[in-house]
Every structure is written in C-alpha cells, then in structure tokens.
Amino acid sequence: MPLELRLAWRNVWRNSRRTGLTVAATVFAVFLVVFFVAMAAGIHEKMIEDSVRVNSGHVTVTGEGYLENRTLEQHLVLGPELRDRLASLPGVRGHAPRVTAFGLLSKDSATQGAIVLGVDPEREGTVSTLPERLRRGRFVSDDTARGLVLGERLAENLGARVGDTLLLYSVAYSLEMAYELFEVVGVMRLPAPELDRALAVVTLADAQEFFAFGERVTEVALLAESGDRVEAVQTAARAALAGGGNGSGPVEVHAWNELMPELEQLILLDDAGMYLMLAILVVVVGFGILNTILMSVLERTRELGVLLALGLRPGAVFRLVYAESMLLAGLGLVVGMALAIPAVLWFQANPVHLGGEMAGALELFGMEPVMTWKLKPMNPIGSVMTILAVAALAAAYPAWKASRGRPVDALRSA
Amino acid sequence: MAILEAKGVTRVYETRGVETRALRGVDLAVEAGEFTALAGPSGSGKTTLLNVFGALDEPTEGSVFLDGEDLSSLSPAELAARRLHKLGFIFQAYNLIPVLSARENVEFVMELQGVAPAERRERALAVLAEVGLGELAEKRPTEMSGGQQQRVAVARAIVSRPKVVLADEPTANLDSKTASQLLDLMEQLNRDHGITFLFSTHDPLVIDKARRRVRLHDGRVVSDERA
C-alpha cells in the first residue's frame, strides 16, 4: 500500500468519534440519494406506463400533421406492408391500430361530446390496458357489430347502462354527416378523469365503417419492451417507416413525451424539486467532510511540518490529506450503498399500495395509487461520482493549506 | 571542504510590523565529522541558525551551503530532497509520527528514499537495537517514555545515513540521566559512523560533551572554541 494511503487510513481513525459522525452523515446522504432517486424513477416510470397504456403507447405512428390537427385528413393506410413492417420492429412488445375522432353521444335528452376510439379488439390488449379496465359488461368484439364501451363518468353523465342504445353522430371522412345507433356493451373506469368523462371505445371495423374511412387509421400505437427502449423503438420505427414505400402515405413517429408534453413537464418539475433537495443534502455532507479534514489538518500543523522537514514533498502532503477525505467519503459510500441498494431492491419487488386520501389524490392525477421503486445503474454510479466529487472539492482547501506551509512555520506552531 | 557553511547569514522576522533580527551576519563553517554545539541563551538565534542550515528556513541575507551546494537556488521540492538524502533531524519535542510504530517511524525516511521493504525493516530493527529499543520496535510513541521517544528520533535521524544530524535542544525534555545516556549514544554514533552532529542547546551537559562550542548572542557568533 502506498505510504500516503497507509498514513491516511491510520489518520482517519485517530479521532474515531469524529470520523464515525462524518461517515454516518455520508451514509445517511447516500441512502437518501439512492432511495429517493430510485423512488422517483419508479414513480415516474409508473406514471408514464399508466399514461401510455391508456393513451398513446410509448410510440405512436401517425399520418403527417396529425399531431397538430388531429382530424381524419391526417391518416395512414394500414395495408399488409405496413403491418409487416410494424410486426418486425425490434424492441416492440405490441402494436395496435386505432381510429380516433370526435363525436356526440345521445341518450334520451342527454348529449355528451366523446372521443370515439376504434380499436382492434385482438391487438389492443398488446398495447393498452383498456380491456382490463372494465367495471361492467364486456369489451368490444368483432363478433358483435355496433358495440360500445364507455368511460364510467361518461356513462353516468349520459345515464347509460350496459344494454342501452345510444346515438352516435359525427362528421365522416367524406365530410357527410354520420349517425348510427350503438349498444353499450361495457363500462370501464379510466384513471385519468378527462378520459373517463369522454372515451367511447368501438371496434376498429365499426369506426372505419362509421367514419367512411376504408382501410385508413389515424394512428398505430406501439408499446416498447421497457420504458428505457422508447428512443430505440422510435428510431427503428422512423427508419422502417419514414422512407415511404409501405403504401401508408407519409407518416410521422412520435414518442410519448411529444404526445403528452404535460406529463414530461410534470416529471421534469418533480425531478427538479427532488434533485434540489438532494443537492442541499450533499452540500451539507460536503461541509461535514470539509470540517473534519480542516480540523484534522489544523490540529496536525506541527506533525505535517515534521513530515515536510523529514523530506516528504509538498505534493505528497497534498495527496495524504486528499486520501483522508476520499477514504472518509469512500467509507460512507460503501456502508450507504450496502444499506440503500438492498432496501431499494426490496421495495422494487414489493411496491407500496396506498390508501385513503393519498390514493384519491394520485387517482385524480390519473395514477394508480401504488408507489414503486426502480434502481437504474446510473443511480448508484451517479451517487458515487457525486459524493466523491463533493469529497474531492471539500478536501481541496485543507490539502492545499497543508502542503503549502513552510516546515519551519509548522514546527514553530504549538 | 565544510559540510555546512553560512556566509553573512541574516534572518529578519516581521510580525505585525515589528522587525526581529534573529541572525546578524553569521559566518560559520561546520566540517564533516564534527560534534558541535550551538550554545547561547534563549533568543540568541541558535534554533534559527539550525533551521537555516537544515533547509527549513531561508536567510533574509547571505548564503547557506550544504555539502558545497547553495541552498538559496533550490525549489521547495528540491529542498525536500536535500533534507531527505543529506540531513537527519532530532527535535526538542521528539516529533514522531503518532500513528506509526517505532519501527515504522524509523523506516519512514528510508521509505521516502525508496529503500526496499525488507532492507528498511532490517536496518530499522538494527538501529533500534543499537539505541537500545529493540524490544519496543512495534510500540507507538504514545506507549513510550520521553527518553525512549527521543531515542527513536535519534534512530530515525541516523538510519538513512545522513551527512549531518541537526538536533534542536535534544535533551530539553529529558531528565539528566536519560539526557546523559542519549548524548553518549550520539557521541558513539559520531565516533563509529562519522556522522556530523550539530546541536542547538543551552544544556551544560551537551555543551560539555561537544568537541566544538559555538556561542551565539543576539544573533551573532561571539565565540568558537574547540575542545
């Protein structure tokens, strides 16, 4: 072991109580950083997952200009070639074609605006959780024409129950008025209130017929194998589809954050608040290390002078003090990680189901009342780098002070 | 050629605007193999002269030569290297490294010099045995008496075979019996190994033992006698 490191290790334990307190503060900070970053990652991933699985999918393929206008004019043609290309995309868990348009639903004297969503009953489950959100009745099926599944609040506002018949009317792709009777076959509860108040699901075939849309669809939703692969899927989809030649017409490929920018902003805001809090915590730990090392250097002025007098070069004295700081931080990191990683992995395997007002608040934001944790490799790596960087910064002044003194001045000190 | 030489050395300290002249144009040459005491009352400049000779402090005026080399032209790192390879130090307050054992303290300088671990261990144990501390090699300074600590300091100063050992009031914190034993030890090392010793002291015991006595007063050499 190099001389400086050996001396540093022994010096660290000269005042074991002070070292213990500094290490404990570092352990506390490391634990909180790893735990809260993993909690935020888990919650954010759950928010995205919940949202993409009732809304857009991780990635959405649309006709050119659909995002800006959202009319039937910006469509794509779902021919065999496009289906083949979608099916062969790497990193995709499922894909589901959809027709999304707006219409009015009437029952007796009640009329409500609705988002009419035409889905392929066989494929929809590979992307969204809509079929799992049924509260009553059944999901739409190609076996029964003119079936309709309503959001729970929409059904309440219309006074509709399973088995009731509703009138849907809208403007078709041909710009003619379209109207048809649909039977309510199911009622589902959606976590996002604005969707629960507006969504009416029909089969893709019924939607295409109702809107005189032929083989066209407004979008194809893709679900990536994991939230980490969204960018890769988007890139692959762009490469596979944007070149044309698939018979679909010009297409655009959007990731969830382009389709739901408000969700991304919410996550960024939440991250900003959390990182600010953690930064304050880390700075406090940095001052703790600075205090310990500076006190240690000031107490040992004479001893450091002796080392210089005996022939230790100023650079070696600098390295010695630096090594003491890094050892303090390293000890805190090792113990902190040893506590934080198992704790996070346990919570990752055992999500916390919330109840009461907290659950209600989360549901209001369209989230399931479940707290989840996710340990990403960058979390411990980033924590280690941050704490070491703070320790390095904290050691700079004491190390500089220790190494620049003249031996004679240090030897004269009490 | 002198192993140590001061030519017109003046050292002025300034504290809060007040000037103190610790040395006033000192000329002194120490030859190899001498056993010399710098004597004088407190404030006479003996420790300052020792520090200047030891490359721990630099003169305000004049030049200091170590083994024929002018120290004033050297950088802090070069001065550290000269201290490491040519000088040994014994301090009044022992100044051992508290986290190292007696053997490790003695090995410390050799480790800085790059001596192989097996050799430095062997030499450290041999020198500790020579100063009568073979049994206490693995003890830390806090587990030793003042006399024992000063013997470790002597062992540390001589183990790297320096040209000169500079000892600042080496007996100041010791009782007369221990001080006498320590002086006998240093005299023997001077005689057997030819190591040059230069003491700063006002202890009559040390002054009596010295073969050359240089007296300082108010920063000037007032007498220089050889026994």
Which tokens in the block code for residue B138? 């693995």
Digit-coded pLDDT (tens) for B175-197: 888 888 888 888 988 998 888 99
Contacts of B89 in chain A (CB under 8 A): 309-310
- Minimal-distance CA residue of chain A relative to B168: A411
**Which chain A residues contact residue B95 at CB under 8 A?**
302-303, 306, 411
Chain-chain contact of A302 with B100 (C-beta, under 8 angstroms)? no
Chain A CA closest to residue B82: A311
The confidence band for A414, taking pLDDT boundaries of 50, 70 and 90, is very low
- Based on the structure, what is the number of domains in chain B? 1
Contact A10 B109 (CB under 8 A): no
* Cβ-defined contact of A311 to B97 (cutoff 8 Å): no
Residue A105 banded pLDDT, cuts 50, 70, 90: very high
> Which tens digits make up the pLDDT trace of A289-342?
888 888 888 888 888 888 888 888 888 899 999 999 899 889 999 999 999 999
pLDDT, residue A364, reads 65
Q: How confident is the model at residue A242 (pLDDT cuts 50, 70, 90)?
A: low
C-alpha distance from B97 to closest chain A C-alpha (Å): 7
Q: Does A310 reach chain B within 8 Å, measured CB to CB? A: yes
- Domain boundaries along the sequence of chain A: 3-51+263-412, 57-256
pLDDT tens per residue across span B165-179:
999 988 887 788 888
C-alpha span between A60 and A92 (Å, rounded) = 12
How many beta carbons lie within 10 A of that of residue B164, not counting itself? 23
From A307, A313, A408, residue closest to B57, measured CB to CB: A408
Cα–Cα distance measured from residue B208 to residue B185, given in angstroms and rounded to the nearest whole number: 15
In a domain, B122, yes or no: yes
State residue A247's pLDDT score.
Answer: 62
Task: Among A10, A302, A309, select the one facing B83 at the smallest CB separation.
Answer: A309
CB contact under 8 A, B56 and A411: yes
Q: Provide the 3-class DSSP secondary structure of residue A294.
A: helix
- The whole-chain average pLDDT of chain A stands at 88
Would residue B65 count as lying in a domain? no
Quick check: is B187 in a domain?
yes
Tell me what pLDDT residue A157 has.
95
Q: Is B129 among the domain residues?
A: yes
Mean pLDDT over the full length of chain B: 90
Q: Is residue B9 part of a domain?
A: no
Using an 8 Å CB-CB cutoff, list chain A residues near B150.
Answer: none
In a domain, B6, yes or no: no
**Contacts of A345 by beta carbon, 8 Å cutoff, 6+ apart:** A375
Q: Does A1 touch chain B (CB under 8 A)?
A: no
Once rounded to an integer, what is the mean pLDDT over residues A81-99? 86
Residue pLDDT, tens place only, A198-209: 999 999 999 999
Distance from the Cα of A392 to chain B's closest Cα (Å) equals 24
Res A248: pLDDT: 65
The token pair that represents B49 in the structure block: 């002269």
Closest B-chain CA to A408: B56
CATH number at residue B137: 3.40.50.300
What distance in Å separates the CA atoms of residue B114 and residue A316, rounded to the nearest whole number? 14
Instruction: Report the gap between the CA of B50 and the closest CA in chain A (Å).
Output: 11
Contact B95 A303 (CB under 8 A): yes
B90 is a domain residue? yes
Chain B residues closer than 8 Å to A7 by CB:
97, 99-100
Q: Is residue B4 part of a domain?
A: no
Q: Is the dihedral of CA B75, B77, B83, B86 positive or negative?
A: negative
What confidence tens digit (pLDDT) does each residue in A23-37 have?
998 899 899 999 999
Q: What is the pLDDT of residues B114-156, one digit of tens each?
A: 999 999 999 999 989 988 888 999 999 999 998 899 889 989 9
CA distance A66 to B143: 84
For the segment B13-61, what is each residue's pLDDT rounded down to a tens digit?
888 888 889 999 999 999 999 999 999 998 899 999 999 999 999 899 9
Q: Provide the token pair at A103.
A: 């219409």
Q: Which residues of B touch A302 (CB under 8 A)?
A: 93, 95
Cα angle at B122 between A312 and B132, to 5 degrees? 90
Mean pLDDT of A266-292: 89
The complex's ipTM works out to 0.87
CB proximity A321 to B under 8 Å:
no
Q: Which residues between 11 and 70 in chain A have a beta carbon less than 8 angstroms from any beta carbon of chain B? A: 11, 14
- For residue B74, the enclosing domain spans 33-59+70-226
Percent of chain A whose pLDDT exceeds 70: 96
Q: What is the pLDDT of residues A207-226, one digit of tens each?
A: 999 999 988 999 999 999 88
Cβ proximity of B220 and B43 under 8 Å: no
B interface test, pick of A6, A13, A308, A408 with most B CB neighbours within 10 Å: A408
* pTM: predicted TM-score of the whole model, two decimal places: 0.75
Q: Kindly determine whether residue B56 and residue A11, on different chains, have CB atoms separated by under 8 Å.
A: no
How far off is chain A from B101, nearest CA to CA, in Å? 11
Q: Which of A396, A246, A228, A221 is nearest to A321 (CA)?
A: A396
Q: Are strands A199-203 and A110-119 parallel, antiparallel or unpaired?
A: parallel
Q: Is A407 on the interface with B (CB under 8 A)?
A: yes
**Which are the contacts of B141, defined by CB distance < 8 A and separation ≥ 6?**
B94, B96, B97, B98, B102, B105, B149, B152
Q: How far is A305 from chain B (nearest CA, A)?
A: 10
What whole-number distance in Å separates Cα of residue A300 and Cα of residue A291? 14
Closest approach of chain A CAs to the CA of B86, in angstroms?
10
Which residues of chain B approach chain A closer than 8 Å at the C-beta?
51, 54, 56-57, 76-77, 80-81, 83-85, 89, 91, 93, 95, 97-100, 108-109, 111-113, 156
Q: If pLDDT is split at 50, 70 and 90, which confidence band does A148 have?
A: very high
A-B contacts at Cβ under 8 angstroms: 59
Contact B109 A310 (CB under 8 A): yes
Classify A165 as helix, strand or coil. strand
Contact A178, A172 (CB under 8 A): yes
User: Predicted confidence band at A365 (pLDDT cuts at 50, 70, 90)?
Assistant: low
Can you tell me the mean pLDDT for A137-142? Answer: 93
Residue of A nearest to B158 (CA): A310
- Report how far residue A123's alpha carbon sits from residue A39's, in angstroms, rounded to the nearest whole number: 32
Looking at the predicted structure, is the pLDDT value of residue A245 above 60? no
